[in-house]
Amino acid sequence: MQEKHLEFIQNIISRMANNSFILKGWSVTLVTGIIGFSLVNSISHLIFLALIPALIFWGLDAYYLWQERLFRKLYDGVRRSKNKDIEPFSLNTKSVKKHVNNWLITAFSPTIIIFHGAVILSIFLFIVILKIGF
């Protein structure tokens, strides 16, 4: 019975990780598309629009990582069978929220900030390059 519960939780963790991977791909695609469109059409102020999807995908990626961490903590609780707050086959993460950093702290974790920080930094580099006129 416990094995099936763990399997359910593991499937959710896998979906969260997959969602995060897909979001990163969409982030790069949209940001690159907006930058490319603005460069081809010589409309440099459109590059600022690339910040919108970059920031939105950063927040979404942080949300999925936060959810993944909650379910990992739930997995540990079910695996150890020490947490009496977890009902059999429950997927409610409320009982483990106090043991996981919140969404905003997760947004600035190294795994998130490195990728999305690089995307946002590249947007600003393109803006600087266009202003200088390279």
Q: Give the residue from 65, 70, 62, 61 showing the smallest Cα distance to 90.
A: 70
For the stretch 6-37, pLDDT in tens is 888 899 999 999 999 999 999 999 999 999 99
pTM of the model: 0.85
Higher per-residue pLDDT: 85 or 79: 79
- Give the per-residue pLDDT at 115: 96
DSSP conformational letter for 87: P
Residue 49: both structure tokens together: 């629009």
| Each residue's pLDDT tens digit, 34-73 | 999 988 887 878 889 999 999 999 999 999 999 999 989 9
Where do the domains of the chain lie?
A: 2-132
